[in-house]
Amino acid sequence: MAQMESAHSQVEAHGSFKTYTIGFLCSIILTVIPIAIVMNGWLDGMKSTVVLMAAAVLQLIVQLMFFMHLREEKKPRYNLISLILGLVILLVIVAGSMWIMMYNMVAL
């Protein structure tokens, strides 16, 4: 029992109220912007797609930095390597799916 308490006391606090508040506000803003663009029809076509994708990428970065504390981890960076591998797999799946769908649209 004493070992668990000592190990638990060595764990550092990840974030402060200020950083969580900043992350929360950034998340809210990055959620409201795409909703407003789509609901009001401010942008159309490729412009809308680019803004929505940029907001999604920024939202991912905010989540990783402010809530998952990716920047605060110590060496070695196993979590970062796992994240990069997951993103590569996701990119391959999405790009492959898009390629297959585009090929099937042209073939019809």
Neighbours of 43 (CB within 10 A): 14
Both 38 and 66 in one domain: the answer is yes
Answer yes or no: is pLDDT of 30 > 70.
yes
**Domain total in the chain:** 2
0.85 surpassed by pTM: no
**Residue 23 clears pLDDT 90, i.e. is over it:** yes
pLDDT in tens, 58-104: 998 899 888 887 777 676 677 778 888 888 999 999 999 988 888 87
Contact 34, 52 (CB under 8 A): yes
pLDDT for residue 44 is more than 80: yes
56 and 80 in a common domain: no
Domain holding 87, by residue range, is 75-108
Check whether residue 81 and residue 50 sit in a common domain.
Answer: no
Give CA–CA dist 98/103, Å, rounded. 9
